Amino acid sequence: MTPTLKRLSTGIANLDRVLGGGLLYGGAYIIQGPPGAGKTVLANQIASHHAHEGGKVVYLTLLSEGHDRMMAHLSSMVFFNPEDVAGKLTYISGYPVLEQEGLAGLARLVRQEAARHKAELIILDGLFVIEETAVSQHAFRRVVHELQSAAHLAQHTLLLLTNARRDPGSPEYTMVDGWVELADERDQGRAVRELEVHKFRGGATIRGRHRFRISDTGIEVYPRLEAVAGHRPSPAPQSALVSSGIPKLDAMLRGGVAAASTTLLVGPSGTGKTMAGLQFAGASTAAAPGLFLGFYESPARLVHKARGIGIDVPTLEAAGALHLHWRSPSEMLVDEVADWLLCELQRTGSRRLVIDGIAGFQQNLIWNERSGRFLTALGNELRALGVTALYTSAMTGEGQSPAPASQGVAELSPLVDNLFTMRLIERNETLHKVFAIIKVPDRDFDARLTTYTIGPGGLALAG
């Protein structure tokens, strides 16, 4: 039986998840990133959590910034409470020793302070200062090796913080047990923080770049959805049918959409997509609740719009039958919202889901190539949860969309089970609304173009 390696939790659940369970005792890790990337916040958050759990930490700085100034910056962070960590988290300046006694003196100081405080976690903030002080690259690598060996022998965890960017094959990165990079990505004026584990001995990690944010609660990490979700085998197609909330559409579908399926409803602005979504959500019950997630219309507007077609959202919410949510699409982290959404579906036991404006996700992916993978993972996870989903999109035609980040209908069609379109056509100088069912797998359906109107009862299909 393979022995289980002892882990030191970072106190950041999703970071531990990315690391495969946390850092290893006896491991040495480089945390690298440019100034302002969040290295010091991350290190102090890990240190505070370990101290709060009863462990001992030595935080040794080699930077010009004094400890008082660091404490002032950390005082606004929820995780940092000087009284809570008193006697368990010790800050030491190693710069005077480095200047007077050189690299050997600094390595000796680290060993002595770790032993004196019986610390399980040692943080050395300013590895780049050691590199600048070293007389040669060989001397720099030797002290890194000495620190790593001391951590292994004493079975404490060592974090080495640096803003120096090195090539992946740099010797110091091959000597340590792990290398975590914090970075800023920029796209069309927007900046997002990202974290990547380049190396980690002793366990499997979730590879690739993952978004994170820094707030007054500290660092929050959100793994890429396609890396952590959607890998469970999809259940067999269900024979049960779920009402669309529109009687005529149910008749055209020969009873409704398949349970645990995903449907994409596309059409230009003004065709009634949100109305259709509200009717689908309005068919929710306390026994089979629904969740409506909107990106472009506030809850107040949605409640007003629903009331106009005879759907009493407050009553449904009070009964636990419907959960109405809104998220601003302005520079949101898609993986954060997706993680919240999947948790909320499980918390509420929802069996219906409306995502009104799937472009809210697509516009915020930064990397447009992620769109297909992201939506595939989301759809697979929804099926595994037994959720029947309806997405709306304002696409205007094959490969056309008002948002540059969006994919066309032809590209998204394979990612969903059912595809419906809503169009505006001109006839006798009058615009008519036309509905069509384009795709429903493995079942007969009415494929005729059908005109419809929007009135007090919502969408009313002709015929």
Q: What is the pLDDT of residues 198-224, one digit of tens each?
A: 999 988 999 999 999 999 999 999 999
Is 175's pLDDT higher than 90? no
Q: Token pair 């720099």 is at which residue?
A: 140
Task: Give me the pLDDT at residue 403, please.
Answer: 37
Decide if pLDDT at 445 tops 60. yes
Q: Tell me the residue range of the domain where 334 lies.
A: 241-461
Q: Are residues 258 and 395 in the same domain?
A: yes
Residues 217 and 247 in one domain: no
Does residue 218 share a domain with residue 144? yes
* Domain shared by 214 and 250, yes or no: no
Q: Are residues 187 and 294 in the same domain?
A: no
Can you count the helices (H) and strands (E) in the chain? 17, 22
Q: Are residues 199 and 298 in the same domain?
A: no
CB contact at 8 A, 12 and 31: no
- CA–CA distance, 440 with 249 (Å, rounded to integer): 13
Q: Are residues 332 and 207 in the same domain?
A: no
Task: Identify whether residues 317 and 196 lie together within a single domain.
Answer: no
Residue 235 counted as domain residue? no
CA distances from 43 to 12, 60, 173 (A): 11, 11, 19
Tell me the DSSP string of 334-387.
HHHHHHHHHHHHHHHT--EEEEE-THHHHTT-SSTTHHHHHHHHHHHHHHHTT-
**DSSP at 405:** T
Is the residue at 233 inside a domain? Answer: no
Residue corresponding to tokens 């958050």: 45
pTM: 0.87
Are both 214 and 273 inside the same structural domain?
no
Smallest CA-to-CA distance from 57 within 125, 8, 15, 114 is with 114
Domain count, the chain: 2
Kindly report the CATH number assigned to the domain that includes residue 433.
3.40.50.300
Backbone φ/ψ region at 77: left (φ over 0), alpha (ψ -120 to 50), beta = beta
Residue ending a domain, choose from 195, 223, 251: 223
Q: What confidence score (pLDDT) does residue 237 get? A: 66
Q: What is the pLDDT of residue 4?
A: 72
Classify residue 461 as exposed, middle or buried by CB count within 10 Å of its CB (0-12, 13-18, 19+).
middle
- Same domain? For 197 and 251 the reply is no
pLDDT digits (tens, 9 = 90+) for 66-103: 677 777 778 888 998 888 788 899 999 999 999 999 99
Rg, Å, the chain Cα set: 28
